[in-house]
Structure formats: C-alpha cells, structure tokens
Amino acid sequence: MGEHRKRVKHLHQRGDLHEFTFSCYRRLPLLTNDTWRAALSDAIGRACERFDFQLVAFVFMPEHVHLLTLPTGEEPAFDRFLAMIKRPVSAAVKSVLLQSDSPLLAKLTVRERPGKTAFRFWQEGPGYDRNLRSEEAILASIDYIHANPVRRRLCRQPIDWFWSSAAWYAADGEVQDPQLPPLSRLPSEFGWRASR
C-alpha cells in the first residue's frame, strides 16, 4: 500500500499576501535554541530567494512559527517553499543531536511502521495558511504576529522579542539584523501597504 500524504490545495491570486503558521513536533518548545533559530532564519531567507517570496513579517515562538509573505512569482510553490524551510532545519538539528547523543533524539524519532523510523522536528503536515488581501486583514496579521510573544508573556513589548520583525517595523525598515531573515517592504503598487 502506498504512503498517503495529506495534500492541501492552495488558492492564490496574484497580489495576495500569504500567512503561514507551522509548529514543532507535538508543539514541543524546540525553538528556544539560538543556533536552531539562526538555522531557521537562514532557511527562510534561502527559500524566499529561491521561490520568489518576499518576507513581510515573522515571529519565531518557542514551539511555532508565523510568516507573512508576498509571493511574487507567477505560480507560487507553497509546498516546496515550506519544505525548503523545514527540511534543512530538521536535518541540522538531527545532526547536532546525533553528534551529542542527546536524549532529545529519541523523543523526536517516531516509528512510522515496523522497521521504519523518522526524525520529526516539525509537526507533520503543512500547518495553517491563508491568503490576505484587504488592508484590515494584513494590518491585523502583522499586529497579531508581533504581539504573539507579549500575549505569551515572553516579553513586555513586541520589539523586545529578538526573533521577530517587530523591531524592523519600529525602525521603519532602516535596521536589519543579519541574524534575522531579510524583510521586504511591500512594492509601491500596493499603495497604502508600501509604507508599512
């Protein structure tokens, strides 16, 4: 019997922004290690460049990630975009855990069927995603993403959380930390959105 993979049909209209949310395996707080978060940051930058996505906003929480993107290609490859983010991070973490003989390796290794195991850094499946097109929805998404660490009491204000685009917005896009994935202003054809 062939392996069944859940497939999600992504509907996209050119000019829509796309919000992604994906979680660590069993929502474990695996994104508390700066080295792993830096690997995630690098993978996001590479995936954006490879698949013509602009990163508009993001936050890395201890157990999940929010990305707000603007796909600029003709036919966005959402599944391949996410795979190019998730796979290298998972492989890098697995390598570190193998080298250090960490007990976390056993916790993240699952039995798929008799004789076959798999390492899981990310929760299986595509996570949650949606298209955004209205000003109200886009601004609400950016605010929601930036307020995540505050709601969880990880910091007092959004700009205090390093692994987020909140400080970039507070500096009006003038300061880009090299440890964070590159952010983009929205193109001028977005009118009100270009200044955000």
pLDDT (tens, 9 = 90+) of the chain, 196 residues, equals 445 445 555 566 777 999 999 999 999 999 999 999 999 999 999 999 999 999 999 999 999 999 999 999 888 999 999 999 999 999 999 999 999 999 999 999 999 888 899 999 999 988 899 999 888 899 999 999 999 999 999 999 999 999 999 999 999 888 889 999 999 987 665 654 444 4
Half-sphere exposure for 48 (CA within 13 Å, toward CB): 22
pLDDT at 187: 67
> Which residue's entry shows tokens 């966005």?
76
Q: From residue 47, how far is each of 3, 22, 82, 87 by CA, in Å?
A: 26, 15, 8, 11
Nearest to 57 by CA among 136, 169, 135, 161: 169
Q: Exposed, middle or buried: residue 189 (CB in 10 Å: 0-12, 13-18, 19+)?
A: exposed
Instruction: Show the tokens assigned to 103.
Output: 């007990």
108 neighbors 119 (Cβ within 8 angstroms): yes
Give CA–CA dist 107/51, Å, rounded. Answer: 32
- Give pLDDT, residue 194: 43
Predicted TM-score of the model (pTM) = 0.88
Interatomic CA distance for residues 188 and 66, integer angstroms: 24
The answer to whether 48 touches 67, Cβ cutoff 8 Å, is no
Quick one: fold of 17-195? Alpha-Beta Plaits (3.30.70)
Kindly list the domain boundaries of the chain, sorted by start residue: 17-195
